[in-house]
Structure 1
Amino acid sequence: MAGVLRLRASANPPRPARWSDLRAIERKPDEVRGAQEVTMQPQNQPQSHPLEQFFHQAVRNNYEVKLGLNDPDVTSYVAHLLCEFSRSDKLYKVRDGQGRPIDELEQMLLAADPVNGTAPSFDAERLIRKHIGDYSLFVAGMYPEAVEPWRRHRRGNPSLEELVRAGKESYYIVSQFNLFEYEKEAPLFGRLSDWFERCILGLTLVREDLSRRKALPAPPIQ
């Protein structure tokens, strides 16, 4: 399909030596699909993860120590994001009406649009936009080879610039939901939007650390 922005992993992406030993306990994927399922889905609080402390230290060492990005909330959020995406199926938890995972950036953006797209509500827009921000940050920082120019032209993947734009915009939109139950965390998403490029750089440093430890999360293969 011409013009579609599809993001795939490289043919031979880096894999951890023993990632299966570090994997979290298998859980049913959280999925975003269908009008009723999106609007009725509760806003879950981050849950404890076996690798939370490990990733938190890795993110803190690079964000705060190396980049001077001294924001404990951002550090904790990104560490939890790495835990969440340690399972590749979490990258594709946005589903279409038939329950099929959406793995195209363009289609994710359409699914997040309550006016011209398929989002059934503004709450659904926030939920999906948050996922797009997370997805863009993770892929751009941890697997930049997925958006290398030669692969993008061959497979229709988004460019790094397009991925960054979608991520920054999505976090900004989430930050504009700043009333009622969303008021407390809205400023965090504003900072994630403002510092998006720095957060990507921090994740590339985290990636280097994890590669040396042979503990790099599984690549984003659906």
Structure 2
Amino acid sequence: MIKANCRERFTAADFDFVVRTLSRSERDSVNLVDLLTDGAARDTVLDNPRLVESLFADGGPLTISPQLYFYILLRHVLKETALADRDVSDYLASLLETFSQTARMRSPADGHTSPIQYVSDMLIALRTASPAQSFLIRAHVGNYSLFITGIFHETVQHRSQRGAPDLGYYEDLGRSNFHLAAGHQVARTCALSEIFEKLAAGFREIRLALNHLSDSLIHLDNAFAPLIP
């Protein structure tokens, strides 16, 4: 299950990258290390635009974790919108980190021995799913709908010309499933209810921000084909 926990999983290499990027003197470096041990101060430091600039400065390989990479990018595209919520950025960074592995794009809960591959099959599985399974499926449908319309919007548009569901279909599907998942006890226990409600309410705006991210800042391998029914 995806959670808003990227900021809890930063590595020593991540902190070193932040310190090296933002420090101008040895004294600055010490101060930044102190700041990065405090949650609120850390969040302010991570909003520094120099971090985004550094990701693309020399084109060389990065030594930071996927969770820091995606968090910095998500904050960059979302903090100027009405959805400048750090927990939402954190959740979406976890989503991109998770779905960057194609095997993890499938629904984790269908009551069978293998994961569900297609959205249409996930919706059918809801008919017989337990409450816990329903939550996992609905959260996954919301996540998946946001991911493919955000990162692979051109693929969705192209396939819709041949009769497949269009962007509007996935927006409605993702919005409704996030809303339903938000009311589940598991969401409340995992501190996801408010995040899911914000994702439901701002689905289109977030999708457009992810479109910008995909078109301008990240370029996933063309062989990474989303599983669209």
Q: TM-score range by the shorter chain?
A: 0.5 to 0.7
Q: Which amino acid letter does the alignment assign opposite residue 99 of structure 2? A: F
| Percent of matched pairs sharing the same residue | 27
Q: Which amino acid letter does the alignment assign opposite residue 167 of structure 1? A: G
Contact map agreement 2:150 2:209 (CA 8 A) in 1: yes
The structure with the larger Rg is 2
1:186 aligns with one of 189, 193, 197: 193
2:159 aligns with one of 151, 154, 163: 151
**3-state SS of the aligned residue for 2:122?**
helix
Match for residue 118 of structure 1? 128
Contact map agreement 2:74 2:92 (CA 8 A) in 1: yes
Match for residue 77 of structure 1? 91
Write the distance in 2 (CA, Å) between the matches of 1:197 and 1:180. Answer: 22
Contact map agreement 2:110 2:122 (CA 8 A) in 1: no
User: Is 2:181 the partner of 1:170?
Assistant: no
Note the residue ranges of structure 2 that are not aligned, 5 or more in a row. Answer: 11-64
Match for residue 56 of structure 1? 71
The number of residue pairs the alignment matches comes to 171
Write the distance in 1 (CA, Å) between the matches of 2:216 and 2:99. Answer: 17
**3-state SS of the aligned residue for 1:141?**
helix
User: Is 2:111 the partner of 1:89?
Assistant: no
Q: CA RMSD in A?
A: 2.9
- Flag the 1:126–1:204 CA change in 2: closer, same or farther, 3 A: same
Match for residue 140 of structure 2? 131
Contact map agreement 1:88 1:218 (CA 8 A) in 2: no
Write the distance in 2 (CA, Å) between the matches of 1:64 and 1:45. Answer: 16
Q: Which amino acid letter does the alignment assign opposite residue 89 of structure 1? A: A
Which structure would you say has the larger RCO, counting Cα contacts within 8 Å and 6 or more residues apart?
Answer: 1
Distance apart, 1:204 and its partner CA:
0.8
Contact map agreement 1:86 1:218 (CA 8 A) in 2: no
TM-score for both structures, normalised by structure 2: 0.64
The structure whose residues are more often helix, as a share, is 2
TM-score for both structures, normalised by structure 1: 0.66
- Flag the 1:141–1:153 CA change in 2: closer, same or farther, 3 A: same
Which sits farther off after the overlay, 164-173 or 88-97? Answer: 88-97
**3-state SS of the aligned residue for 1:133?**
helix
Distance apart, 1:219 and its partner CA:
2.6
Write the distance in 2 (CA, Å) between the matches of 1:131 and 1:71. Answer: 21
Distance apart, 1:118 and its partner CA:
2.5
Distance apart, 1:162 and its partner CA:
1.2
